[in-house]
């Protein structure tokens, strides 16, 4: 009787580790609906800003804040109940991807709003946030796929 592990058993064990790791990474992925919800909430806030009345701001600011907190709580709550990711899964490439995405959405939205305002367009913040919200909604899942690839590449058995 041999005490060694057969190659087929080792291969099966490694495949199982990878499968479980993918499950953990998939749980940590921000769902597509979240990006669209945040984009829609941006538009709500911008409507209040463009309306320029105390009543509009008194309504839209709390809707934005409560909506963002609620959506984020739903996403984060599910992740904290499950296994946590190792910090080494998100490397410098992931940080650059996240920061780049934020810069494109925020910078593009603000830049477009200023351009629209300078051009005399009515409701520049709202129109810019509609564009920013579409970029956020469409781009968020793309960012998540890129982060998933990075995390899987940095996973167990990968060179660190």
Range 22-27, long-range pairs (CB < 8 A, 24+ positions)? 22/152, 24/82, 24/83, 24/85, 25/85, 25/89, 25/148, 25/151, 25/152, 25/155, 26/148, 27/78, 27/79, 27/82, 27/83
Which pLDDT does position 137 carry in this prediction? 97
Residue closest to 26 by CA, chosen among 108, 100, 85: 85
Q: Decide if pLDDT at 77 tops 60.
A: yes
Average pLDDT over residues 136-158: 85
Query: Who wins on pLDDT, 84 or 59?
Result: 59
pLDDT in tens, 2-47: 567 788 887 887 778 778 777 777 777 889 999 999 999 999 999 9
**Which pLDDT band holds residue 160 (cuts at 50, 70, 90)?**
very low
Residue 82 has pLDDT above 80, yes or no: no
* Confidence grade of residue 78 (pLDDT, cut at 50, 70, 90): low
Q: What CA–CA distance (Å, rounded) separates 135 from 14? A: 38
Average pLDDT, the chain: 87
Q: What is the DSSP letter of 5?
A: P
Is pTM beyond 0.85? Reply is no
Q: Within 13 A of 142's CA, how many CA atoms are on the CB side?
A: 10
């Amino acid at each position: 009787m041999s005490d060694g592990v057969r190659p087929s058993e080792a291969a099966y064990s490694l495949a199982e580790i990878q499968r479980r790791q993918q499950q953990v990474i998939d749980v940590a992925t921000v769902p597509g609906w979240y990006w669209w919800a945040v984009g829609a909430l941006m538009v709500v806030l911008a409507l209040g800003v463009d309306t320029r009345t105390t009543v509009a701001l008194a309504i839209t600011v709390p809707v934005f804040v409560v909506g963002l907190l609620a959506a984020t709580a739903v996403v984060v709550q599910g992740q904290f109940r499950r296994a946590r990711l190792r910090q080494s899964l998100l490397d410098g490439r992931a940080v650059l991807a996240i920061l780049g995405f934020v810069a494109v959405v925020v910078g593009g939205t603000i830049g477009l709003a200023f351009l629209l305002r300078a051009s005399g367009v009515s409701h520049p913040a709202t129109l810019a946030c509609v564009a920013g919200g579409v970029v956020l909604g469409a781009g968020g899942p793309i960012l998540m796929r890129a982060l998933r690839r990075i995390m899987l590449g940095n996973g167990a058995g990968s060179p660190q």
